[in-house]
Amino acid sequence: MKQGTKIITLDNGYHLWTHTDGEDSKIHLLALHGGPGGNHEYWENFHDELKKQGLDVQVHYYDQLGSWYSDQPDYSDPKIADKYLTYDYFLDEVEEVRQKLGIDHFYLIGQSWGGALTMLYALKYGSHLKGAIISSMVDNIDEYLEHQDAIRDEALSPEDAQFMRDCEKNGDWHNARYQELVEVLNKGYVDRKQPPAISHLVDTMAVPVYNAFQGDNEFVVTGKLKEWDIRDQIHKIKVPTLLTFGEHETMPLKSAQRMAQAIPNSRLVTTPNGGHHHMIDNAPVYFKHLADYLRDVESGKF
């Protein structure tokens, strides 16, 4: 696979933006962004950062259907929404992208929502994987929501925490004070470093996709992710698995610890001072953990 940008046409006729960094290597890493409805941008330095760690890795990433650089279907059409805003669609999209990029026996890394897809891919298509990296994603939504309550009580005054809960109960998502409090939580637990390099003049989130699965923001779940629970399945993930979490993020570390016990061949690492996007918040530690994992699997020492 040559490096550079390639627009691929899916069998359904839609087009996805893809990009590959690095010359062909025996180590291929395919990266899945979060959201759902985010985009690829926090993967852009992975090739260079892994090279600093002494690893030659060809890194592939893409924007999922509906996201900023790829085709954006008309999700206001119920038939289109019902067909494409599903777990099964986005899971099988990963496999089709793999085929169209011509990679096999590769590593799959997923951040947040992408981590959910990574778990599902390892369960359904694990024969294609050398390993799986689950970055900041847990195997069920109930424990996540419990953690959100704890986050509010830790970061906000009792009055502000209750105000948020009242707004959510009433569906008052556009309340200015509510959105200000969401931003306080974002800066504390999602994007702690607030890097200017990936900021935009406009919001690049694919809102229809995000709303359909998550809801208004990272601290509530009103969409299809309410159904997310594969606790009874993760023990079937057989490939070498790295679980990587920030130590100050939206995902509960207690759940990560339990997952590390349940997945047979797994390792849990945490990033100090890292939020949900700990690959940005504390890059040196994040990439050392990732490089150590890749090196150990490649050498048969994992």
What are the tens digits of pLDDT across the range 266-281? 999 999 999 999 999 9
Q: Hey, what's the torsion of the CAs at 188, 48, 90, 253, to 10 degrees?
A: -40
Which whole number is the average pLDDT over 13-19?
Answer: 98
Put simply, whether the predicted model's pTM sits higher than 0.95 gets the answer yes
pLDDT of 32 reads 98
Nearest-angstrom CA–CA distance, 279 and 205? 19
In the chain, the N- to C-terminal Cα span, in Å, equals 27
Closest Cα partner for 21 from 40, 52, 46? 46
What are the tens digits of pLDDT across the range 31-49?
999 999 999 999 999 999 9
Confidence of residue 148 (pLDDT cuts 50, 70, 90): very high
DSSP result, 152-214: HHHHS-HHHHHHHHHHHHHT-TT-HHHHHHHHHHHHHHT-SS--GGG--SS----HHHHHHHT
Helix and strand counts by DSSP (H, E) for the chain? 11, 8
For 1-105, strand residue ranges (E) read 4-9, 15-21, 28-32, 58-62
Is 160 a residue whose pLDDT tops 70?
yes
pLDDT of 87 reads 98
pLDDT of 213 reads 98
Closest Cα partner for 36 from 116, 126, 122, 101? 116
Is 196 a residue whose pLDDT tops 90?
no
**Running DSSP on this structure, what letter comes out for residue 217?**
S
Close Cβ partners of 236 (under 8 Å, ≥ 6 residues apart): 123
Nearest-angstrom CA–CA distance, 257 and 13? 41
Is 1 a residue whose pLDDT tops 80?
no
Quick one: tokens of 43?
A: 């993967």
Quick one: tokens of 98?
A: 């793999």
Is 170 a residue whose pLDDT tops 70?
yes
pLDDT of 197 reads 82
Quick one: tokens of 84?
A: 């494409």
Quick one: tokens of 17?
A: 């933006």
Is 199 a residue whose pLDDT tops 90?
no
Is 13 a residue whose pLDDT tops 80?
yes
Summary mean pLDDT of the chain = 97
Cβ-based burial of 93 (10 A; exposed 0-12, middle 13-18, buried ≥19): buried
Quick one: tokens of 92?
A: 């099988």
Is 2 a residue whose pLDDT tops 90?
no
Q: Convert 150-159 to b/e letters by CB count within 10 Å (16 or more is b).
A: ebbeeebeee
Rounded alpha-carbon distances, angstroms, from residue 243 to 9, 131, 192, 214: 32, 11, 20, 22
Q: Are 276 and 251 in contact (CB under 8 A)?
A: yes
What are the tens digits of pLDDT across the range 108-144?
999 999 999 999 999 999 999 999 999 999 999 999 9
What are the tens digits of pLDDT across the range 202-243?
999 999 999 999 999 999 999 999 999 999 999 999 999 999
